[in-house]
Structure 1
Amino acid sequence: MQTTTARARTRAADTRPRAAILTALMALSVAVLATVAAAQDDVIEAHGVSTFGELKYGPDFEHWDYVNPDAPKGGEFSTWAFGTFDSLTPYILKGNAAALSTIFYDSLLTGNLDEPDSMYGLVAHTVEYPESREWVIFHMRPEATFRDGTPVTAEDVVFSYETLIEKGRPSFKVSLKDFQSVEALDTHSVKFTFNPEGPLRELLMTAGGLPIFSKAYYDEVDFTESSLEAPMGSGPYELASVEPGRTVAYQRRDDYWARDLPVARGTNNFDTIKIEYFADYTTAFEAFKGGAYLFREEYQSKIWATGYEFPAVESGAVKIETLDDGRPAGTQGFWFNLRREKFQDPRVREALGMAFNFEWANESLFYSSYERTDSFWENSETLQASGMPSEAELALLEPLRDQIPETVFTEEAFSPEPQSASDLGDRGALRRASRLLEEAGWVVGDDGLRRKDGQTLQVVILNDAPGFDRIINPYVDNLRRLGVDASMNRVDAAEAQEREKRFDYDVVIQRFAMSSTPGDELRSIFGSETANVEGSANVAGIDNPAVDTLVNHVATAQSREELITAVHALDRVLRAMHVWVPQWYKGEHTIAYFDVFDRPYDDTPPPYAMGELSIWWYNAEKAQSLRDAGAL
């Protein structure tokens, strides 16, 4: 696809006859050359690439529209993370990497906060690719350097790709499987060649987003070993300090090679970004009240409704705000481990889902703060399936009819039935769930427990967050009312992370942020190839050829209209399979922060992120005022 900001050219041989004696051969020459030209694509050279349509920013843009290009640099941004960490190496399975530990690395291309499907040159100044996107050449900036001052070269890019395939998390072998070759054409030009049958729309941008490692550094350091040593990157931040499991801080590089590029102006404004770790939400909130960190996005409805009445809020030292969130809300829920035989029957999964009374939880626990999630693209009117399938969807679904639930064709897109907000054990819902379990062969015995073939129906929910106890325990109570031997297994964050990598659980709570332009990354969550790859995002173990086909339709869609149709069909099928028990969402950001920051917008952030880490900045005068008042 050629955009108005790209320059296309066709490479063809010179067709002029060299001498009059060749006149007799002209007809043959022209015929041959016409065939060659027809087989070649127009080759596009551009400063960026868009999945569909036009790039918003032209080749001479000076900065993103949503930034303050003159934002001051300085100060500290601090926030919190849940759990623990013991590593600064995020691309391997070993260890638990610290939050933001990808911040050390640059990539060839970078995205922005106001386009869902565009990337622009960072380490690469130009991309060159045919309309088919079967290959791409990235022409790199000679001025790009690693932290030690050595240049970032095409050889480093090749090394990075090969390292991720050979030594990185096993999921990289799946996500990069359609990369046929990566070769350095010269010191600062690297070519990726893709499988012509692969999701070509996505692969170019996947290549552009890969982290770039220093080959020279890893000639001396073992990439496969987790480490708390500062890695060698070319990114805007380096390591400032680290206390394993407690805190990690990153320091802005004054010598960052890309600081004056249009894609970087007005960004990376904080001298220091610090993450404080806590084992539970309540402790983290109390620490925020005491000024242990400066910014908090609130995910606990009870705390949001009742906790923000402390003196710093009343004095104005802490600001609380609700901002629009234009992204899909994400796929948060209780995920069944379909690798286990007891969850193979979809009637069992649907019945277990009926035991979760969201309406009761929302009123009794959440202060009516949430809406029920039903779609994997909740909060996206465009991508969320609704009603009966359209003709365009049916064209994708009919060939898969014997591999997907019949309800996809006979019922509207599945949504959980509302239950009584005043009665946790909604009798109607539990009766319907009981019938489904009996149909699946799970019969209640004299002891009140359900058994099939001598096996008790046991369901254990893995939980590493104490704040979730009040949500899980009522769900467990309802499961027990159904005759399920249900329980919650509370573990610490480190154990949970390791068990999740190995898929060692019955039910796990997980949330995935879904893209506004979904593509090949869906294979890592829903694809058969990742169902048994340790450390993959396929927490449910979905292994269904129809789902694979629909994911491929999403990844290979040639227009946004085709993309929307394919996402609708995939959303509809996944919901009918009952692979999860959807939880809740809120289509907005609820945030609190000490009043030491400024930002380039008032109430409406860029559509795809708040940008608190990237485009906000520290106001030293505000901070001094709070210190003078004893509030900081």
Structure 2
Amino acid sequence: MYGEPALPPDFDHLPYVNPEAPNGGSVVSAEVGSFDSLNPYILKGTVPWQLTSLVTESLMGRSLDEPFTLYGLLAETIDVPDDRSWVEFQLRPEARFSNGDPVTVEDVIWSYETLGTQGHPRYQTFWAKVESIAPVGDRGIRITFNVQDRELALLAGLRPILQKKQWEGVDFASADGLDIIPITSGPYVVETYDAGRSVTLRRDEDYWGADLPFRRGTMNLDKVRYEFFGDETAAFEAFKSGETNIVRETNVARWESEYDFPLVQDGEVVLSEVPHLRPSGMTGLVMNTRDPLFSDWRVRDAMMLAFNFEFINEAMTGGEQPRITSYYSNSPLGMTSGAAQGKVADYLAKYADSLLPGAMEGYELPTSDGSERNRANVAKAIGQLEAAGWTVGEDGSLRNPGGEPFAFEILLENGSSEVASVVDMYVQSLGRLGMQVTVNSVDSAQYKQRTDGYDFDMTYFRRAVSNSPGNEQVLYWGSGTADEPGGRNLMGVKSPAVDGLIRDLLTAESTDDFTAATQALDRVLTSGRYVIPFYQWNVARIAHAAELTYPERLPLMGDWPGWQPDVWWWEPQE
């Protein structure tokens, strides 16, 4: 994106892998929830999220050390002009699908067109910016863009490539995700599955790209299996008994108090802590602004004030985990405290008429004294609710001038006891404001159906962001996708400032401009009070079988898709 790649054209392997890692062994993880599809490329169905990174390949691949750099994978060469108005790829002649068929130009063009028009909505934003896609000789594909967007040349290298002939005569968008498992060219293939309960991936011993510099030292484990459980307790018990052999722990207090079971004491399970330099992203409770109840920013501000983070954090983690302070906190892309300065202020000034209080002058999340009652912030919350037309009546309930009660539902997915505990404490605080709150936990299929259709008032929200934000920001917060079913803009943001700042970061031609535009976007999103933030995870805590090993040299992004199980290997213990 800017400057030159860190690795030379003749690099031997990625710097954070062990190029001598042996093949063998298995990793078995416990997942909470279920699945009813193994096709991650369409909207229909619930899919194990890991499939896209292990069984699918794209023309290029990402280095976890370089947020804005891609290296050739299916593509042998990449050409792009200075203005980035088009990009041209030449396929590697040795590239093969898992059934042995060559990956062809026709497969690539069909994949881009089909995913862009019939696939999951996340692929449609990119396709809308494509003016044409055409073959160039026997192995070349040129993609020409219809807008100025410097990131598109990189995004063009990250689309999944499927086999065209598998889908002849099949309705791609409505195909059953268990009857037709997509044929791909990746290092793993689906070996077996038990719908809703488990799926096992097998390392393809005939994988075409095993000797590529980009792949050397990766994809070492023979089997990758995911076991699904109804809740966190059952998943943890499966790990403690040895039924699974790896787990990520997100709660510091639990990490320090509950990981002394026999397998740990005997050295059969190792506790690893993996730091990273990624932005915090946003995790918390999201308010659906499509709901008139949460369309008023003053109501959302009151909801933020009522969330007693200090008390909840002490109860859940012993106060050990810092709070997420913005979408890009823990990184240089995060907003700074106080009033906007310099280029950040210049970017914000263009959208001054649509900014909410705090964006320009500075905004910080409310803090409490740590007591359960949270009196000072509750008083402020009442003031904001009154300003928005809500008052507490003689019966103690919060009502609007028409007498309607302040009543809403918090929608949760079955299985997350930690989130449920946080919500229980929050609901008690909301009750003191006179609100009528219902908590409804549903199974994964119903949860997906309701969130895809934005049929919720408030729900749990987790959105990871990277050190290289780009066009995915349109999907996360853009007004153009806010009402598309299955979209990722759960809060329903429709802000001229957000849309404009996304355009600004996409067209930035220098690192300074890009950073300033992202910091400005971070200010607008955070001051929008769309999500009530929880605590952040700046260190990944992973308990795993002693045989599961990873390199000492960690990538910039730490524990991130592309690291585990990708660079891990099986080291037999004496």
TM-score band, normalised by the shorter chain? over 0.9
* TM-score where L is the length of structure 1: 0.87
For 1:86, the equivalent position in structure 2 comes to 36
2: CA distance, partners of 1:175 / 1:249 = 31
Aligned CA distance change for structure 1 residues 415 and 227 (closer, same or farther; 3 Å): same
2:480 to 506, 525, 529: 529
1: CA distance, partners of 2:350 / 2:18 = 51
Q: What secondary structure does 1:607 align onto? A: coil
Please list, as runs of the form range in 1=range in 2, the aligned pairs for 1:253-402 lying within 5 A after superposition.
253-402=204-353
Please list, as runs of the form range in 1=range in 2, the aligned pairs for 1:426-441 lying within 5 A after superposition.
426-441=374-389
For 1:25, the equivalent position in structure 2 comes to none
2: CA distance, partners of 1:455 / 1:158 = 55
For 1:454, the equivalent position in structure 2 comes to 403
2: CA distance, partners of 1:226 / 1:555 = 36
1:424 corresponds to 2:375:
no
For 1:11, the equivalent position in structure 2 comes to none
1: CA distance, partners of 2:165 / 2:546 = 44
Whether the 8 Å contact between 2:64 and 2:555 is mirrored in structure 1 is yes
Aligned-residue offset at 1:382:
4.2
1: CA distance, partners of 2:475 / 2:154 = 16
Q: Deviations over 1:508-549 (max 9, x none)?
A: 111111110111110101100110011111010001111100
Q: What secondary structure does 1:78 align onto? A: strand
Aligned-residue offset at 1:369:
2.3
1:68 corresponds to 2:18:
yes
- Aligned pair count reads 565
1: CA distance, partners of 2:488 / 2:126 = 11
**Structure whose CA Rg is larger:** 1
Instruction: Decide which moves more: 465-474 or 334-343.
Output: 465-474
> What is the RMSD of the two structures over their aligned residues, measured on CA atoms?
1.4
Aligned-residue offset at 1:270:
0.5
List gaps (5 residues or longer) in structure 2: none
In structure 2, what residue type is equivalent to 1:427? R
Aligned-residue offset at 1:559:
1.3
Aligned CA distance change for structure 1 residues 110 and 257 (closer, same or farther; 3 Å): same
In structure 1, what residue type is equivalent to 2:55? F
Aligned-residue offset at 1:221:
4.0
Aligned-residue offset at 1:407:
3.1
Whether the 8 Å contact between 1:305 and 1:367 is mirrored in structure 2 is no
Q: Deviations over 1:308-331 (max 9, x none)?
A: 111111111111122212211221
* TM-score where L is the length of structure 2: 0.96
2: CA distance, partners of 1:518 / 1:171 = 15
Q: What secondary structure does 1:114 align onto? A: coil
2: CA distance, partners of 1:259 / 1:221 = 32
Q: What secondary structure does 2:542 align onto? A: strand
Please list, as runs of the form range in 1=range in 2, the aligned pairs for 1:528-567 lying within 5 A after superposition.
528-567=479-518
Instruction: Decide which moves more: 580-589 or 344-353.
Output: 580-589
Please list, as runs of the form range in 1=range in 2, the aligned pairs for 1:104-143 lying within 5 A after superposition.
104-143=55-94
Whether the 8 Å contact between 1:554 and 1:563 is mirrored in structure 2 is yes
1: CA distance, partners of 2:248 / 2:418 = 15
1:177 to 113, 121, 128: 128
Q: What secondary structure does 2:202 align onto? A: strand
1:488 corresponds to 2:436:
no
1: CA distance, partners of 2:239 / 2:438 = 32
Following TM superposition, the consecutive aligned residue runs of length 4 or more in structure 1 with deviations greater than 4 angstroms are: none
Aligned CA distance change for structure 1 residues 291 and 312 (closer, same or farther; 3 Å): same
Q: What secondary structure does 2:282 align onto? A: coil
1:445 corresponds to 2:397:
no
Q: What secondary structure does 1:332 align onto? A: strand
1: CA distance, partners of 2:446 / 2:325 = 30
Aligned-residue offset at 1:455:
2.3
For 2:566, the equivalent position in structure 1 comes to 614
Instruction: Decide which moves more: 483-492 or 238-247.
Output: 483-492
1: CA distance, partners of 2:19 / 2:335 = 36
Between the two structures, name the one with larger relative contact order (CA 8 Å, sep ≥ 6). Answer: 2
Aligned CA distance change for structure 1 residues 327 and 85 (closer, same or farther; 3 Å): same
1: CA distance, partners of 2:97 / 2:322 = 46
Instruction: Decide which moves more: 482-491 or 301-310.
Output: 301-310
1:168 corresponds to 2:116:
no
Whether the 8 Å contact between 1:171 and 1:533 is mirrored in structure 2 is no
For 2:535, the equivalent position in structure 1 comes to 584
Q: What secondary structure does 1:157 align onto? A: helix
Aligned CA distance change for structure 1 residues 529 and 129 (closer, same or farther; 3 Å): same
Aligned-residue offset at 1:301:
3.6
For 2:153, the equivalent position in structure 1 comes to 204
1: CA distance, partners of 2:240 / 2:357 = 52
Aligned-residue offset at 1:446:
2.1
What is the identity percentage for the equivalent residue pairs of Structure 1 and Structure 2?
37
Whether the 8 Å contact between 1:175 and 1:521 is mirrored in structure 2 is no
